[in-house]
Structure 1
Amino acid sequence: MHRCTLSKEKLAAQPGGEWTHSVSAGFLKTLGCLELLSVVGLILPAVLDIAPVMVPVTAVCWVLLLTGAMITRGRLGQVKLVAGDAAYFAIAVFVAYGRFVIEPFSS
């Protein structure tokens, strides 16, 4: 299940879910839906050839989201989860840099 569909209580019970106690259920649903939309934004524009520039733009947004996640997890002492977020962060930087600089989609 994803954050967009899980209740706040179920998210809080998962490993690393301690941070959910300090935010509203609406914030959690919004965050989860934004994560799902980011997956769509990373894949569909290039596949459908509709506004492919949205791929690196979405990757930059994902970098910003993961920066916040790493800061939050770091403050909570969740070092293993920070490492996982750092891996996704590196992939998002790779996609953004690769599609903006190395091999941009042709207009």
Structure 2
Amino acid sequence: MFTTTQQRLEQHQARGRTITLKIKFGDYQQITRSKTLPDYIGDIETIIATATALFEAVELKSRSIRLLGISLSNLENGKQTQVIQLPLFSSSGIIFSFNNG
């Protein structure tokens, strides 16, 4: 998955400053959390690390999650309205473990 995402970022020459995490819960409530970085980034490791930190700061209180989304915006190329949606999961066998304890 990360290779494909990295290729998409490179293909579009996309580098952005804002990482946004969207969480939709089982009760259809949704929240978003974002972080704007001081420099433009385009590497998947930084994007995933930032999104993970945003997710870990959310109090889940044993709520079920039905959707997670990560996006990169505030792009360097000046197209402020363009947002690149990044895939969160794929069939690559990546396992995410969330501890609600």
TM over 0.5: no
Normalising to structure 1: TM-score of the pair? 0.27
- Structure with bigger RCO (C-alpha 8 Å, 6+ apart): 2
Question: In proportion to residue count, which structure has more helix?
Answer: 1
Q: Name which one, 1 or 2, has greater alpha-carbon Rg.
A: 1
Structure 2 length-normalised TM: 0.28
